[in-house]
Structure 1
């Protein structure tokens, strides 16, 4: 069964289940209404014609049945919503196969200024690699996926990710269950930095003072006194005095409780989702060592996170004025639950960041595993040792639909090497460079690549493809490109590349100046880069540059071309050896009406 057939089948299956649960949901809604009316009628009948004990018995049984029906109703609602979510999830996968993206997240919030390649390769954006891969829903998962795409992993980590991704790709039921469990709670996408800031903050010393530690037991006196007043055994002024004392005590801790809630309240709703995700991870049986190690770090997370959610939700009740007056003040609610919150932090503060990070990593691995499952023709790249090593066969761009994708072979081995690509306009030079670069990024993330075979070493991709002018900075596009090239020169000159050799991609190099300066500048840059461990690709219309270096052993010339067939330009987007001496600018100008 193809991925498309799998997703279509699962979409229909979950849609049918959702409809069944909707019918059950409606039936239980009717049953609850009938039950309520029946209990009220029978209770009234017993009250009128029998002893009050019978009425009380009917009410007790009726309330028990009603609470049971509410619990059952909520469970059916959850199952309905989850199956709807799973159906939606598979529809998203179907659309994703055609590079149509239903989710709104672009990843641009995680973009880094002056990044080595993110902007040129469309790592983020409306039609981006991030959108193609993203199956995360927690903020931490989304951020980690972006970070993996922005920063290449080292060889050992890449190999471990590959094994984990391969195992997860085969667990479609578990993977989609993980994703759906996160999708059910909207707050799960909220940033966690305030929660972690609260977790990292020192223990609150004020709540540890004897006043509050002793005062927490005061309700054991106050509540019986209130009951005694209700029954007429004590005067009201005693109650008022005790309530006043409670109010004064609560006032002492009001600010601290408010600050703690401000830091945790936005993420409180997501705690149930985090707990469910942790439980799914713990209950699953994994074979790969990386997955087992991650699972071991989260063994106790689910009940602890659920306990945190319970504490935060109960603390938040203080915002209800009626609750605060009737329950909050008599029970010293703020103190009781602030102490519980501080105790929770003392017990789990070392674990919480790890738990969130593990959930985020499983979501990120799940994204790459889902991508692998959806593209069974893509292959797991081989990561080799050494400097610059890149060898690919039938390499295609993963963002180009399979029926329009043209694949090419390429090989670049050793430092100080340059591949010059010449060719006519629109022939595919830029797309080819992006094809190579984005597949290297995928490979160093741990993902599969769009190729028949693919080998590369641990590399740092660097691109200069889109150099735009800036009115704000007062720079032309040419000067912007020069700044970008200086960044490359500085990087290869530092020798601080975290063991990764630079693999550069320079598109239409120095296009913003005259042909003489462009030729001399490109020639000088190539000779300068030849002295370093960096290697890469340069595309240009300057055929003389290719001809000049055609006999040099550190340069290889490749080209793309076009041909005119019945007055139409035809492109085959196939990479050929050698310099291209056939260009199409005059034909393109004629087609728009310029008389040549």
Structure 2
């Protein structure tokens, strides 16, 4: 852990130095732009008030060209500056996460739709598993991660293929950091996916208008030449009338398409940079196919960025009036956008989805890279787990457990006193199952389990709004678990079921649920305080008993949080109430 903290602290220092360098360059360009702008204003003043057209006119247009160049250069410098700022923020966040602080930069998934076991396993929300894992920098990447976390219709071949991709990516730490910092340099989540569904057109774009886009620059050059050589404005007026006439004719469409792309220039740049980085990714097999598919996407984003940059010249009022009047700026960028739609539009959203999948794989790769004490899961019918821990508990404090079962064991009863570790063990097992089926590494030294549907009933709450009692809420959850368990082999995690009824009802109901689950083709773990229930099912081959014990020594209650075979013998509820002065 300290080794990573040292590495990341060194990265912070590197980005701080680079950030300071690019900050100085940015301020320098700001000053140069200001001086050029003042010079242009002074030239314009001479032209308008002193009628001194020459050489002031040359200086004005020369200054305008330099000014626009400086603007574009400033944008590039600002992007570099933003990259290194985010580099500092990224590695500061990673240092914090190494100390088990909250992930401050990436989404926690709160409010997203996930499987029913999400609440039971603390998957979403602040401090949850998703927030600890998540390093997705695109909306599609985040959605892909959440989709994988649902563990729906997963098969072993699919998971093992994903594991190979994740392993290959995890071995390229510098590439991963470059990809992640590039994505963070613009708030891609805030801006949303760059889906390019074009607005409906009110005017048909035809080949005639395409020829007009070729004609207007020629007219503009001839107009400038005619004015300087013959002091005539005839061609210039023709260019102005044709250009602004076309702008007026396509006015509604130009406005709609400009709104679509004008605010996303920075996004196109970042997506393009991320796709350029994909070219540098060392890849083989399926990862190589991902690279090939994203190559044309990189070209599409590059072309889109060029169109958006040209269209954004509309925002420079004086330059826009001059350039659109003589060279048909609006028709130029609109024509390019129509060509882009024809060439790339049909497959662009699918390519962005592929980038999102790669983004999700990078998240899993970074998780594997920063958790070298975790293991790559294997899958088989026998349960064989060594040193299982919970990812939300710091490694220095986490007590790990070894656990194994034979193929005959179908149902496991786990007993133990309050706070001894039963619920944490169930959640660690459930989280491990989720991570393993995502293709991620698991907090264990060895993990071998079958791939199973995950079902759980660990937490319940009543609802005044829905007029649902605690007990009825639990029954609804159990009903769903039992129904889904009939459809596919499942890992079922249950914690102290039927707490909302009397002891006799609870005993009989629990026994009937156990009898039904004994016939279930899967694996069930049931944590309970009911020793009588455990005694009823003692000595059966398909039902195994495990426990967590507590000890009271010298007036102190202690736990070792280790799982053992057999049934728990020690109790602590009365002792705790005495210690707290309740009784």
TM over 0.5: yes
**1:178-218: CA deviations, max 9, x gaps?**
111111122454332x825x16x8x8594245775676678
Aligned-partner Cα distance in 2 for 1:396–1:248: 67
Provide the residue aligned with 1:48 in structure 2: none
Provide the residue aligned with 1:81 in structure 2: 82
Aligned-partner Cα distance in 2 for 1:453–1:382: 8
Provide the residue aligned with 1:437 in structure 2: 430
Aligned runs of 1:554-569 on 2, under 5 Å?
A: 554-569=542-557
Aligned residue for 2:373, secondary structure, equals: coil
Provide the residue aligned with 1:532 in structure 2: 520
Matched, 1:270 2:267: yes
Question: Greater CA deviation, 348-357 or 173-182?
Answer: 348-357
How far apart are residue 375 of structure 1 and its match? 1.2
Aligned-partner Cα distance in 2 for 1:66–1:328: 18
Check conservation: 2:216, 2:239, Cα contact below 8 A.
Answer: no
Provide the residue aligned with 2:108 in structure 1: 106
1:277 to 1:538, Cα distance in 2 relative to 1, 3 A: same
Aligned-partner Cα distance in 1 for 2:211–2:113: 51
Check conservation: 2:183, 2:270, Cα contact below 8 A.
Answer: yes
Check conservation: 2:12, 2:91, Cα contact below 8 A.
Answer: yes
Provide the residue aligned with 2:534 in structure 1: 546
Matched, 1:141 2:137: no
Aligned residue for 1:556, secondary structure, equals: strand
1:277 to 1:329, Cα distance in 2 relative to 1, 3 A: same
Check conservation: 1:187, 1:266, Cα contact below 8 A.
Answer: no
For structure 1, the residue ranges without an aligned partner over 5 or more in a row are 45-50
How far apart are residue 296 of structure 1 and its match? 1.0
Aligned runs of 1:2-21 on 2, under 5 Å?
A: 2-21=3-22
**1:90-124: CA deviations, max 9, x gaps?**
11111112221222621124323xx2311111111
Aligned-partner Cα distance in 1 for 2:262–2:65: 32
How far apart are residue 425 of structure 1 and its match? 1.0
Aligned runs of 1:566-577 on 2, under 5 Å?
A: 566-577=554-565
**1:10-60: CA deviations, max 9, x gaps?**
222222333344445556666777888999999x9xxxxxx9999889889
Provide the residue aligned with 2:368 in structure 1: 372
Aligned residue for 1:123, secondary structure, equals: coil
Aligned-partner Cα distance in 1 for 2:59–2:319: 29
Aligned-partner Cα distance in 2 for 1:449–1:66: 55
How far apart are residue 358 of structure 1 and its match? 2.3
Provide the residue aligned with 1:154 in structure 2: 155
Matched, 1:308 2:310: no
Provide the residue aligned with 1:167 in structure 2: 168
Q: What number of residue pairs does the alignment pair up?
A: 572
Aligned residue for 1:383, secondary structure, equals: coil
How far apart are residue 357 of structure 1 and its match? 1.8
Aligned-residue CA RMSD (Å):
3.9
Give the alignment's TM-score, normalised by structure 2.
0.86
Aligned runs of 1:482-521 on 2, under 5 Å?
A: 482-493=475-486, 495=487, 497=488, 501-521=489-509
Check conservation: 1:508, 1:539, Cα contact below 8 A.
Answer: yes
Aligned-partner Cα distance in 2 for 1:93–1:211: 56
Aligned-partner Cα distance in 2 for 1:335–1:238: 16
Check conservation: 1:318, 1:324, Cα contact below 8 A.
Answer: yes
How far apart are residue 239 of structure 1 and its match? 9.2
Aligned residue for 1:506, secondary structure, equals: strand
Give the alignment's TM-score, normalised by structure 1.
0.84
Among candidates 243, 257, 281, match of residue 278 of structure 2 = 281
Aligned-partner Cα distance in 2 for 1:170–1:468: 44
